[in-house]
Structure 1
Amino acid sequence: MRVGLHLGYQNMHGQPDVKTFMQETQFAVEAEAMGFDFVGPVEHHFTDYAACPDPFQMLAWVAAKTEKIELITAAVILPWNNPLRVAEQFIELDILSGGRVIAGMGRGAARREFRSFGVELGDSREVFDEAALIVMQGIETGIVEANGKWFQIPHTEIRPRPFKSFKDRTVMVSMSPSSVEVAADYGLKTLRFSQGDWRKAIPEINHYRDVFQEKHAKPAPPFIISDFMLCFEDKKRVSEYCDKYFARMFETVANHYEFMGEHFKSLPSYATYAYMGERAEAAGGADKAYRDYIGGNMIGTPEELVEHHLERASMVGDYEMLCNFSFGGLPYELVYEQAKLFADKVMPRLKG
């Protein structure tokens, strides 16, 4: 089992952005010594929720300070970026890192970010589907050419040229039925965020595997689960930090994506987000959604995390893990403490 480090770049500490940004980036470098297999940031803009607007720049800095850890864009949001430029950036980063890039792509879900980039949230499905094919063609062949609804690009050669195939190291965030269809059709590994009871996701996961097998005549690769993590030996500390920091993080997630908003109900491609809002309403508010959110992520003592993993694996099958230890203003001394404990006591058992 492969285990990675996911960096959210939340600034809930009340500190200057430059300090929190560099703490998080340095954490990515130290992940290699801790034994993580891959590391990468999300792309987000404009708020304290997550502030890493350019994953490529950040990962190029990490590549120069590490030797073997793989580098994932988890994910670059295609509707906010020109796909030809994205293909160029993937290839350049792959060269700089000696072929360590995992090309992760997503389509975003927050209206505030789409609005500032002048893109309609309702168009994201079509834009992503078209852009992803352009990027995949570019990083594999070094040639981009497109004449679609959203992008018209003349025959263009990318320089520097790719030196290594990206097959089996291209990933797509898949959080809806339409997304898993696209991922399976395109032959991509999927990345899912823990957002509640994993039993609810099993039909989508199985459908992805079935369609992938049908389309490509081979089993689907293990998908990636991104978890928020709390890992401490003392259960009282786990409970205390969960109540204080995880609750704060959940509030920022709900506000950033507007889970309770009505707009998701008219967008079938965002079914997961609409479901979360409906579930919260049915339960009489956000508390039920919050408790489900806690249950879906990895929170507990080292022994409890191993048990949680085994239980989840029995439901969803083989998967890889992407761990986010830094959120909600959790002090950095605690971020490092729990990451080190996880690396020492949990990760060897997951890999074993």
Structure 2
Amino acid sequence: MRVGLHLGYQNMHGDPDVQTFMQETNLAVEAEAMGFDYVGTVEHHFTDYAACPAPFEVLSYLAAKTNTIELMTAAVILPWNNPLRVVEQALQLDILSGGRLILGMGRGAARREFRSFGVELADSREMFDEAALIIMEGIETGIVEADTKWYQIPRTEVRPRPFKSFKDRTVMVSMSPSSVEVAANYGLKTLRFSQGDWRNAIPEINHYKETFQAVNGRPSPPFIISDFVLCFEDQERVSQYCDKYFSKMFATVANHYEFMSDHFKELPSYSTYAYMGEAAAAAGGPDKAYRDYISGNMIGTPEALVEHHRIRQEMVGDYEMLANFSWGGMPYEYVYEQMKLFADKVLPDLKG
């Protein structure tokens, strides 16, 4: 089992951005020493929820600071980026890192980010589907060419050229039935975020596996689960910090994506986000939605996390994990402490 570190770049500490940004980035250097397989950086803009507007630049910095850890865009949001530029940046970073790049792609879900880029959320499905194919072809061949509804690019040879294949190094964030379908048909590995009871996701996971096998003639690769992680030896500390920091993190997630808004109901390709809003409004209300969100993520002592993994693996099959330790304004000394404990006492069991 491969386990990575997810850098979320939340600034809920009240500290200057320069301080929190560098603290978050340098966690990846520690992750290599601790034995993590890869590091993934988000792309988000404009708010304290997450502020990492240029994941390729961050990963280029980390390529120079590390030697073996793989580097993943988790994810570059295609409707906000020209596919030709994505190809160029991906190939350049792959060369700088010695072939360590994993290209993760997503389509975004927050209206406030789309609005600032002048892109409509309702168009994201079509834009992603077109851009992903252009990019997948470009990173393999070094040639970018398109004449689609959303992209018109004359035949262009990219320099520097690719020097190794990206097969099995391309990932798609898949949080809806339509995204699962696209990922399987395109032969992409899929990334899912923990957002509640994993039993609800099993139909989509099984559909991905079956469709991938039928289309590509081989078993699907293990999908990636991105978890918020809280790991301390003392259950009392786990409970205390969960109540203090996870509640802040959940509130900023709900606010950023506007879970309680009705606009997702008009966008079938965002069904998971509509479900989150419905869950918060249903019996039990926001508190139940919050508790469900906690139960889906990795919150507990090292022993509890190992057991959580085993139960989840029995439900969903083999998977990889992308662990986010820094969220909700948790002080960085606590972030480092729990990350080190996880590496020492949970990581060997997962990787074993």
TM-score (structure 1 length as normaliser): 1.00
Secondary structure at 2:278's aligned position in 1? Answer: helix
Secondary structure at 1:167's aligned position in 2? Answer: coil
- Give the structure 1 partner of residue 4 of structure 2: 4
- Give the structure 1 partner of residue 105 of structure 2: 105
- Give the structure 1 partner of residue 229 of structure 2: 229
Which contiguous aligned blocks of 4+ residues in structure 1 show a shift greater than 2 angstroms? none
Deviations 1:204-243 (A, max 9, x none): 0000000000001100000000000000000000000000
Q: Counterparts in 2 of 1:63-78, with a 5 A limit?
A: 63-78=63-78
Cα separation, 1, equivalents of 2:311 and 2:339: 22
- Give the structure 2 partner of residue 141 of structure 1: 141
Secondary structure at 1:149's aligned position in 2? Answer: coil
- Give the structure 2 partner of residue 268 of structure 1: 268
Quote how far apart the aligned CAs of 1:285 are: 2.5
Q: Which amino acid in structure 2 is aligned with residue 135 of structure 1?
A: I
Secondary structure at 1:214's aligned position in 2? Answer: helix
Amino-acid identity (%): 81
Q: Which amino acid in structure 2 is aligned with residue 212 of structure 1?
A: F
Q: Counterparts in 2 of 1:201-212, with a 5 A limit?
A: 201-212=201-212
- Give the structure 2 partner of residue 187 of structure 1: 187
RMSD of the alignment, in Å? 0.5
Matched-pair contact (CA < 8 Å) for 2:134–2:144? yes
Deviations 1:69-119 (A, max 9, x none): 000000000000000000110000000000000000000000000000000
Cα separation, 2, equivalents of 1:139 and 1:67: 23
Matched-pair contact (CA < 8 Å) for 2:114–2:120? yes
Q: Which amino acid in structure 2 is aligned with residue 198 of structure 1?
A: W
1:316 lines up with 2:313 in the alignment: no
Secondary structure at 1:45's aligned position in 2? Answer: strand
Cα separation, 2, equivalents of 1:170 and 1:265: 30
1:290 lines up with 2:286 in the alignment: no
Secondary structure at 2:88's aligned position in 1? Answer: helix
Quote how far apart the aligned CAs of 1:284 are: 4.6
- Give the structure 2 partner of residue 15 of structure 1: 15
Quote how far apart the aligned CAs of 1:280 are: 1.1
- Give the structure 2 partner of residue 172 of structure 1: 172
Deviations 1:2-33 (A, max 9, x none): 00000000000000000000000111111100
Matched-pair contact (CA < 8 Å) for 2:40–2:322? no
Q: Which amino acid in structure 2 is aligned with residue 262 of structure 1?
A: D
- Give the structure 1 partner of residue 332 of structure 2: 332
- Give the structure 2 partner of residue 251 of structure 1: 251
Q: Which amino acid in structure 1 is aligned with residue 132 of structure 2?
A: A
Cα separation, 2, equivalents of 1:254 and 1:344: 32
Cα separation, 2, equivalents of 1:186 and 1:235: 43
Cα separation, 1, equivalents of 2:61 and 2:279: 41
Cα separation, 2, equivalents of 1:202 and 1:159: 42
- Give the structure 2 partner of residue 87 of structure 1: 87
1:38 lines up with 2:38 in the alignment: yes
TM-score (structure 2 length as normaliser): 1.00
Deviations 1:289-336 (A, max 9, x none): 100000000000000000000000000000000000000000000000
Secondary structure at 1:119's aligned position in 2? Answer: coil
Q: Which amino acid in structure 1 is aligned with residue 50 of structure 2?
A: A
- Give the structure 2 partner of residue 116 of structure 1: 116
Cα separation, 2, equivalents of 1:104 and 1:311: 27
Q: Which sits farther off after the overlay, 277-286 or 63-72?
A: 277-286
Cα separation, 2, equivalents of 1:127 and 1:283: 36
Q: Which amino acid in structure 2 is aligned with residue 220 of structure 1?
A: S
- Give the structure 2 partner of residue 24 of structure 1: 24
Q: Which amino acid in structure 1 is aligned with residue 268 of structure 2?
A: P
Cα separation, 2, equivalents of 1:284 and 1:294: 15
Q: Which amino acid in structure 1 is aligned with residue 31 of structure 2?
A: A
Cα separation, 2, equivalents of 1:259 and 1:80: 21
Can you give the 5+ residue segments of structure 2 that lack an aligned partner in the other structure? none
